[in-house]
Amino acid sequence: MPAFHFVQGNGPLLVSMPHVGTHLAPEVEMNLSENGRKLTDTDWHLDRLYDFLESIGVSTLMAHHSRTVIDLNRSAEGGVLYPGKSETELCPTTGFDNQPLYKAGREPDRQEILRRKEAYWQPYHDKIRAELDRIRKQYGYALLWDAHSIQSHVPRFFDGRLPDLNLGNGDGVSCAPELAQGLLSIASSSPYSAVLNGRFKGGYITRHYGNPAQDIHAIQLEISQCIYMDEAPDFKFREERAAGLRPTLKSMMDCFLTEQRRKK
């Protein structure tokens, strides 16, 4: 199984989906607990939710392997994203519910973590870098949209219910503030609740690749899953909810593209 699926578009925007994968290699699955094999923490069905990307010329990069194997939105060194807050590791050993993902004593050791970095993490990030460089060379700038989703209630990470649309640009580090504010304005005027740089400010991908000074603008959107799917097993996709959400997502992407194109 390749590390990712990639489709090259004909515009300045790359959409990354690092947590949409569900594949487990046999050598990983054999060590997982029953809880770990459920893949509960997947960013379920984002490929179906964003089914309009190819039609608008967007490049897409989607991970094949589960985040239970390795979290592509963490640095290879496993650095802290949110100091003082609960986080999962580069190769997670517990789920969002704080329950073990592995059978006792079968957690990945240093050698196994290194193997996963080389097999899954590095190819994905090499592709992000290569595509952003290609886009910037062709258009003079590049845009990166890091697409995520999460259950609306995860006490480990936040109190109460998460807003529907959670934008993050690393407190202004990864994307020009006016671009982020434009996206927030659209999200806030939609039927959904929205926030910028709330509990989720953008993970490693957003913060690492976004560089407005070099004309690379990166934004993360974390969507509360209840607005397009069932959050409990079998994690069913709800087309009637997704159909209501897609126009807002399209409007936000159009704003992202149009505003930066206008500035250039």
**pLDDT tens per residue across span 46-80:** 999 999 999 999 999 999 999 999 999 999 997 77
Q: Report the C-alpha gap between 5 and 225 in whole angstroms.
A: 23
Q: Residues 136-152: what's their mean pLDDT?
A: 97
Domain count, the chain: 1
**Range of 81's domain?**
4-263
**Amino acid present at 44:** W
The position carrying tokens 């939710």 is 49
Q: Which residues contact 177 (CB under 8 A, 6 or more apart)?
A: 169
What are the residues facing 229 on neighbouring strands? 237
- What b/e string do you get for 142-156 counting C-beta neighbours within 10 Å, with b at 16 or more? bbbbbbbbbbbebee
* Closest to 220 (Cα-Cα) out of 126, 162, 146: 146
Place 87 in a pLDDT band, splitting at 50, 70 and 90.
confident
For residue 155, is pLDDT > 60?
Answer: yes
Q: Tell me which residue of 45, 36, 87 sits closest to 223, measured CA to CA.
A: 45
Category of 240 on φ-ψ map: left (φ > 0), alpha (ψ -120 to 50) or beta: alpha
CATH number, domain at 132? 3.40.630.40
Q: Which residues contact 227 (CB under 8 A, 6 or more apart)?
A: 164, 192, 241, 245
How would residue 263 be classed by pLDDT, with cut points 50, 70 and 90?
low
Give the per-residue pLDDT at 32: 98
